[in-house]
Amino acid sequence: MINSLFLINPSGEMFLEKHWKSVVSRSVCDYFLEAKEKALEPEDVPPVIHTPHHYLISIYRDKLFFLSVIQTEVPPLFVIEFLHRVAEMIQDYFGECSETVVKDHMVMVYELLEEMLDNGFPLATESNVLKEMIRPPTILRSVVNTLTGTSNVGDTLLTGQLSTIPWRRAGVRYTNNEAYFDVVEEIDAILDQSGTTVFAEIQGVVEACVKLSGMPDLTLSFMNPRLLDDVSFHPCVRYKLWESERVLSFIPPDGNFTLMTYHVNAQNLVAIPVYVKQSISFFECGSDGRLDVTVGPKQTMGKTVEGVMVTVHLPKTILSINLTATQGSYTYDNGTKLLVWDIGKLNPQKLPNLRGSLSLQAGAPKPEENPSLNIDLKIQQLAISGLKVNRLDMFGEKYKPFKGVKYITKAGKFQVRT
Amino acid sequence: MEWANQLCENRQFGSKMTDSKYFTTTKKGEIFELKAELNSDKKEKKKEAVKKVIASMTVGKDVSALFPDVVNCMQTDNLELKKLVYLYLMNYAKSQPDMAIMAVNTFVKDCEDANPLIRALAVRTMGCIRVDKITEYLCEPLRKCLKDEDPYVRKTAAVCVAKLHDINAQLVEDQGFLDTLKDLISDSNPMVVANAVAALSEIAESHPNSNLLDLNPQSINKLLTALNECTEWGQIFILDCLANYTPRDDRESQSICERVTPRLSHANSAVVLSAVKVLMKFMEMLPKDLDYYSTLLKKLAPPLVTLLSAEPELQYVALRNINLIVQKRPEILKHEMKVFFVKYNDPIYVKLEKLDIMIRLASQANIAQVLAELKEYATEVDVDFVRKAVRAIGRCAIKVEQSAERCVSTLLDLIQTKVNYVVQEAIVVIKDIFRKYPNKYESVIATLCENLDSLDEPEARAAMIWIVGEYAERIDNADELLESFLEGFHDESTQVQLQLLTAIVKLFLKKPTETQELVQQVLSLATQDSDNPDLRDRGYIYWRLLSTDPVAAKEVVLAEKPLISEETDLIEPTLLEELICHIGTLASVYHKPPSAFVEGSRGVMHKRLPARTGSGESTESPDVGTAAGGSAPEAAPSIIPSQGDLLGDLLNLDMAPPTTSGPPPPTTGMQMGGMDLLGGGLDSLLGGDIGGSPAMGAGFGAAPAVMPASLNAPVGGGLGDLFDLGGVGMPMGAYIPPKIVWLPAMKAKGLEISGTFARRAGVIQMELILTNKAMSVMTDFAIQFNRNSFGLAPAGPLQVLTPLGPNQTIEVSLPLSTVGPVMKMDPLNNLQVAVKNNIDVFYFSCQYPISMLFVEDGKMERQVFLATWKDIPNDNESQFQIKDCHLNSDAASSKLQGSNIFTIAKRTVEGQDMLYMSIKLSNGIWVLAELRVQAGNPNYTISLKCRAPEVSQCVFQCYEAVLKN
């Protein structure tokens, strides 16, 4: 099982270590640092590293490396999943996951890590349970604690830990009972030069914010559940009912959680909301090139496309650029060669265009690679797959909750090749 | 701790309530101050002080001096303070074992506390204190906690057993904790079950042979029930444990699969992958025609695809596993090619894995898409990735024949880009394409030659040299090209040197007139000026060959090469089966069996896929029970032989995969009369006096590394002699058919010939009885064979020395060689013979049992057998029945062994013995056989697989003859 955890910042400094079994010398991280040196980007460090006596499994998240040390055969996915939970826990408790925050709350992070694993076995990883045991810091609570001498560690046995619904604590009370669901869809797509879709799929997620008293039992149904053939659920969802009736029936955790993620990759179902006309060319001789990019709406189902942004990694040999945008503004970082064009709302009457000249470093050859364009966009009140929530019913409690559903479509990894 | 100081400064600015305040006391005397605070009367002050201590500890400062003071704070009803003290204890108890004893009393007392949370905390912490003295005191509280009424305490105690086992395994066994732990598998609470399973699995890892997780249908049922109710992590442990179970039959297998399938929709990817493992393993037992089987196959694809939209680290592990799954069951993901398309901002480790899977999924149906993608990747920025993409194009060409032309033109386009590393990779793969499709794409050679100068990597240089040598006759200036390489011969890497040597020899054999000087030069460079034994040996072999018998040299060096296999880089089947059982583990990430690298596990059991019950199809898997103990090879054999593979490349004849690297085959023929290889006759071509070279003897002594088994016969005999292999194993009781009359007297003017064939001490003998039924004396006997299928020829004259008088009979045995001219006969084992005497010439034909040609080294290695069996297409399989044979399998096996039919493995399934056998013919053809013997049933079934299926009928006849006599 998981032996130790090290938190390492991008410059290679270890700022927290936690051991759940015997102590492993921090020199073991040298193997990792070596691999990190070799990698071009921090993202490129291989997640599983073999050393003579240990395995190092790491993730890179929020500009931090979470590095775990294991000694025996352990499912690596289990370790990676756990590391992501640690990152989420820090985010959840302290509002952000960063080196500063961890250092500010060193003892609490340490206590939390101790609660999350026992001898390397996961003990309590549900945020609800953890929060009952170790209360998140608030200024008010600290003041109260200091005055009354009470601690921020719970000392009752947690009901959630042992019931068959470990994700929900008992005795939840709200004056306003409300349940909101966000259907968020991200389009992952690769378009080729001519604009043909090489590959497209939708990653959907239903995020919930449920603040309901007692033990509500909810049933969420969709107008068109047939769209969803590849789903994964929060443990609270009753799988049998989904199999037989295609409804989501569950006792929700308290607060924010991800109810379900789904995946639509039938090509015909994935609408591509924008098209991009682009040309980036370099002249055979001389040291110049031209860039011309136009973005326009395509299949938008009558909605407005907002927050459009085009990002291009220009070739390393570019010396400078001189462009004009008809809408929005562009920034260019000559160090990273990153061109970002922030367009904003897409107006179908007047298509935004960015064009101008690129100049290469003197004597540099014509760049070999073709830079890809990364597109960012947002469409409010639309789930591009067409998924629609039909109704939400509540059983088990008497009160009438407020209910709401919101839809949003975003670009995920949306790339246009040139 | 610089940053700690900084934080202290920050603190001055506001009333931020953060832990950084605990780092203020970094000055001298800090320990003293803390000591005072720890002993303070005020609870709050005490707690703050402990927090400061912990904070120092977490950043690696030594605060062990405060041990007694901190332990004093342990007796408290404040849970937070208690927990903090415990944290401290766990860290320092080991360095202060004597002091740690002070804490024991409190632990023991806490284990009796009314609050289950305290009880659990105490037992949990106690297990983390790795001090022997403490563990002794731990036993009693632990025993109580394992039977505690509160499940929370029980589940904590279960984990504690694993901790204790890690510290003192003997103690755990003596105290009977393992049995208690096993009982917990039947606990009513799913979380307790999950933890017990996890603890037992961890303990079992260090006791590979203990039957800790003794799974039976009842316990399986309990696990499956707990699976639905426990936490996500518990589900992983239970699923991994289930994967070790072998269901009794396909019905049980199906019911487990049905109950595991819902886990595929879990949000936790580790749960999903563990479920995939269970399903992949148990599926093996389901009959393929079952509806459920295809339903299950369909259900497996979506979750695997979903894993690819997770974080890149998860994707990486998923991809490594998908790589295995795709090799085992390509049908699952065959329509999902597009999800493996590479996005430009994927991390490099994800890109490379995706690329590999794309090739595995490439087929005629999607090849256009794949090629378009690969071409796109070849223009990316990342050099490693681009190289791999170019290589991938070559692999596509080899895998999908219809696409070869497109691939070649794509590669040519890429060569036109003149990007140095792209050109070099392209040339390396084009060489492989030439090997796969000879005489098809040679028109591109001119383009390749244009890029000769830009090649600076050994592999690319070697590939180019190979191409020039192989197609020397089509390249006008081949000699100039090769000569240009020769200038810096000693600066080249070994693979280039070897390739250059071979290429020049080839060139010489093709254009002997103009290149004598060149070949002399390279031979002397390789033999006299080189320290590399491989190079030297190869040089000497060529030299000797060329000087002795240029015709033979031509046959060896320019022999038609076997085509390279279609599938590249496949994992060897037994290893693959084992890895499928380890899906989701580190073994699956490294594609190595756990025994090869996991340190903590001593002698891991090899896991095997369960056999399909009642399998009626022998094609599925000749599962040669290598179960426990059989060590799987370290790495997968790569089927496109790399240039560095010196042995395989010896004599420029890369052997068809898989290769046996055993001893060279004993000679099958007789001593070749006129082929005195070590003697003179060296002057015929070169005039070089090779015998005079002192290194010579040593060179040859070291050389007999691997003699390609598939050398054509004439040279095979000769070279075998060259390496003088000593005695050939004595066969026992080879089957010899009874003598029959081949030539009746009335057809041959009174000469009657009857005879048979035998194989004795590795030598084929034709045993003849000549009877003179005429009235006159016969003399001057001689014998000759027509060309025949296996090149049989008399190895010496017919030894009838005395004249044969009327009514006299003489027995002669004539040794045969297999190096004569070859012509396919019908039937295959037909032999046409001419016998001459003083009266006339007579002709007859006879049939020899093909078992005469079975050579003594026909025992294949198991691994090789398996791989070969899978490799030979099913169309080449033929089945026969042997009726009325009353031997048991062992007797049959030993009888067959006498005729050089070797049993490699035996497996018994439901009273039916399956024998796996291999046979090697004198011309290098391998025949693989599976013989099924059912006790009490006199009818045997035999399946034969061979790359040359024509021989099957003859081989079957041999089986029948051998077994029935």
Calculate the alpha carbon distances from B46 to B18, B28, B49, B71 in Å.
18, 20, 5, 12
Listed by number, the residues of chain B in 233-252 with a beta carbon closer than 8 Å to a beta carbon of chain A are 233, 236, 240
Amino acid occupying residue B585? T
Q: Is A42 on the interface with B (CB under 8 A)?
A: no
Crossing angle (nearest 10°) for helices B494-510 and B550-557 = 130
Asked if B589 reaches chain A (Cβ–Cβ under 8 Å), the answer is yes
B2: which residues sit within 8 A by CB, 6+ positions away? none
Looking at CA atoms only, how far is residue B225 from chain A in angstroms? Answer: 12
Which one-letter amino acid corresponds to residue B63? V
Residue among B55, B379, B382 minimizing CB distance to A106: B55
Q: Which of B575, B640, B602 is nearest to B436 (CA)?
A: B640
In the structure, what pLDDT confidence band is assigned to residue A141 with cuts at 50, 70 and 90?
low
pLDDT tens-digit map of B664-696: 333 333 333 333 333 333 334 343 333 333 333
Supply the pLDDT for residue A359: 86
Contact A110 B58 (CB under 8 A): yes
pLDDT digits (tens, 9 = 90+) for B298-326: 899 989 998 988 899 999 999 999 999 99
Residue A191 in this model has a pLDDT that exceeds 60: yes
- A167 interfaces chain B, CB cutoff of 8 Å: no
Q: Where are the alpha helices (DSSP H) in B329-419?
A: 348-361, 367-377, 383-399, 404-416
Residue B81, chain A, CB below 8 Å: the answer is yes
Cβ-contact B951, B921 below 8 angstroms: yes
CB contact residues (below 8 A), chain A span 168-207, against chain B: 188, 190, 192, 198-199, 201, 203
* CA dist., res. B310 & res. B27, Å (int): 47
Whether A8 contacts chain B with CB within 8 A? no
Count of CB contacts below 8 A, A vs B? 255
Q: Of B564-573, B725-734, B911-920, which one has max mean pLDDT?
A: B911-920
DSSP assignment of A108-129 equals HHHHHHHHHEETTEE----HHH
pLDDT score for A142: 53
Which residues of chain B lie closer than 8 angstroms to A125, CB-CB? Answer: 231, 233
Flag whether residue A11 sits within 8 Å of chain B, measured between CB atoms.
Answer: no
pLDDT at B209: 60
- Contact status of A77 with chain B (Cβ, < 8 Å): yes
Q: What are phi and psi of B97, to 5 degrees?
A: -60, -35
Alpha-carbon span A99 to A104, nearest angstrom = 9
The share of chain B scoring above pLDDT 90, in percent, equals: 11
A48 beta partners: A57
Burial class (CB in 10 A: 0-12, 13-18, 19+), A235: buried
Query: Position of tokens 């691999």?
Result: A35
Question: Chain B contact for A152, CB < 8 A?
Answer: yes
Mean pLDDT computed over A363-388: 85
Question: Other CB atoms closer than 10 Å to residue B75's CB: what's the count?
Answer: 14
For the complex shown, is ipTM > 0.85?
A: no
Q: pLDDT tens digit string along B64-115?
A: 888 888 888 877 777 778 888 888 888 888 777 777 777 888 888 888 888 8
Q: Does A163 touch chain B (CB under 8 A)?
A: no
Strand partners, A220: A248, A392
Residue B1 confidence (pLDDT)? 41
Instruction: Give tens-digit pLDDT for B774-804.
Output: 878 888 888 888 888 888 888 888 877 778 8
pLDDT for B611 equals 65
Q: Are B771 and B865 in contact (CB under 8 A)?
A: no
Asked if the C-beta of A53 comes within 8 angstroms of chain B's C-beta atoms, the answer is: yes
Q: What is the pLDDT of residue A143?
A: 54
Q: What is the pTM of this model?
A: 0.68
Task: Collect all residues of chain A within an 8 Å Cβ-Cβ radius of residue B309.
Answer: 188, 201, 203, 263
The mean pLDDT of B361-380, rounded to a whole number, is: 89
List of residues 6+ apart from A178 with CB closer than 8 A: A209, A210, A211, A212, A401, A402, A403, A404
Q: What mean pLDDT is reported for chain B? A: 78
Report the residue from A53, A77, A146 with minimal CB separation from B599: A53
Give the integer Cα–Cα distance in Å for B665 and B924: 10
CA distances to A157, B209, B241 from B389, in Å: 57, 45, 39
d(CA A339, CA A322): 11
pLDDT (tens digit, 9 = 90+) per residue, A238-287? 888 888 889 999 999 888 888 999 988 766 668 889 989 988 888 776 66
> Starting at the edge strand that comes first in sequence, how are the strands of the sheet with B809-817 ordered?
B740-743, B751-760, B763-772, B809-817, B793-794
- Encoded tokens for B854: 């079975």
Where residue B780 falls (left for φ over 0; alpha for ψ -120 to 50; beta otherwise) is: left
Q: Which of A142, A155, A203 sits opposite B79 (nearest CB)?
A: A155
Question: By the 8 A CB rule, do B85 and B75 touch?
Answer: no
User: What's the pLDDT score for residue B640?
Assistant: 38
pLDDT recorded at residue A86: 93
Residue B275 confidence (pLDDT) above 90: yes
Distance from CA of B60 to the nearest CA of A (A): 8
Residue B17 has pLDDT above 80, yes or no: no
Q: With a cut of 70, say whether residue B6 has pLDDT above it.
A: no
Q: Which residue has the higher pLDDT, B674 or B240?
A: B240
Q: How far is A47 from chain B (nearest CA, A)?
A: 6
Neighbours of B569 (CB within 10 A): 14
Q: What is the pLDDT of residue A219?
A: 94
Separation between Cα atoms, residue B440 and residue B491, nearest integer Å: 34
Tell me the β-bridge partners of A275.
A296
Q: Is B603 in CB contact (< 8 Å) with chain A?
A: no
B362-371, B637-646, B704-713: range with highest mean pLDDT: B362-371
Q: What is the pLDDT of residues A276-332, one digit of tens each?
A: 998 888 877 666 888 899 999 888 888 889 999 999 988 888 888 899 999 999 999
- The pLDDT score that the predictor gives to residue B20 is 52
B638: tokens are 């790569």
Are B339 and A201 inside 8 Å of each other by CB?
A: yes
Give every CB contact of residue A109 below 8 A, 6+ residues apart in sequence. A16, A90, A102
Q: What is d(CA A169, CA B536) in angstroms, rounded to the nearest whole number?
A: 78
Task: Output the DSSP codes for B748-805.
Answer: TTTEEEEEEEEEETTEEEEEEEEEE-SSS-B---EEEE--BTT--EESS-----S-B-
Mark yes or no for CB contact B54/A110 under 8 Å.
Answer: yes
Q: What is the mean pLDDT of residues B825-852?
A: 84
Q: Which pLDDT band, with edges at 50, 70 and 90, does B701 fall under?
A: very low
- Residues A408/A187, Cβ–Cβ less than 8 Å: no
Q: What pLDDT sits at residue A310?
A: 93
Q: Check pLDDT > 60 for residue B468.
A: yes
Q: Does A249 touch chain B (CB under 8 A)?
A: no
Most A CBs within 10 A among B313, B322, B343, hence the mutation to make, goes to: B313
Q: Which two tokens stand for residue B606?
A: 């090899």
Model confidence at A409: pLDDT above 90: yes
User: How far is the C-alpha of B712 from the C-alpha of B504, rounded, in Å?
Assistant: 22
Q: Is any Cβ of chain A less than 8 angstroms from the Cβ of B408?
A: no
Of B19, B269, B599, the CB nearest to A106: B19
Using the Cβ of B113 and the Cβ atoms of chain A, whether some distance falls under 8 Å is answered with no
Nearest CA-CA partner of A223 in A408, A405, A411, A409: A405
- The residue with greater pLDDT, B75 or A387, is A387
CA distance B427 to B463: 7
- pLDDT band, residue B729 (cuts 50/70/90): very low
Give the nearest partner residue to A43 out of B202, B347, B382, using CB atoms.
B347
Give the pair of three-digit tokens for residue B541: 């072999």
Dist. CA A258–CA B676, nearest whole Å: 83
Asked whether B937 and B916 are in contact (CB, 8 A), the reply is no
Q: Is B22 on the interface with A (CB under 8 A)?
A: yes
Q: B233: nearest CA in chain A?
A: A122
Residue of B nearest to A105 (CA): B19
Res B15 pLDDT > 60: no
Six-digit token pair at B878?
């033929």
The 3-state DSSP class for residue A306 equals strand
How far apart CA A235 and CA B235 sit, in angstroms, is 11
The rounded distance, in Å, linking the Cα atoms of A333 and B152 is 56
Selection from B501-505, B674-678, B955-959 with the highest mean pLDDT: B501-505
Write out residues 256-295 of B within 8 Å (CB-CB) of A. 262, 265-270, 272-274
Q: Is the Cβ pair B600, A153 closer than 8 Å? A: no
B349·A47 Cβ contact <8 A: yes
Distances from the Cα of A324 to the Cα of A241, A293, A329, A346, angstroms: 56, 11, 9, 17
Q: How many residues in chain A?
A: 418
Burial of A138 (0-12, 13-18, 19+ CB in 10 A): exposed
Span A49-58, mean pLDDT? Answer: 89
What token pair was written down for A368? 């070999």
Give the Cα separation of B495 and B133 in Å (integer): 62
Q: B302 vs A229: CB contact, 8 Å cut-off?
A: yes
Per-residue pLDDT band for B767 (boundaries 50, 70, 90) equals: confident
Q: Which of B44, B229, B265, B387 to mutate to test the interface with A (most CBs of A within 10 A)?
A: B265
Q: Which residue from B17, B338, B339 is facing A137, i.e. has the nearest CB?
A: B17
pLDDT of residue B781: 85
Q: Percent of chain A scored above 90 by pLDDT?
A: 34
Please give, rounded to a whole number of angstroms, the shortest distance from the CA of B492 to a CA of chain A. 28
Which tokens hold the place of B948?
A: 């040359």
Q: How confident is the model at residue A1 (pLDDT cuts 50, 70, 90)?
A: confident
Q: Which residues from chain B sit within 8 angstroms of residue A152, using beta carbons?
A: 80
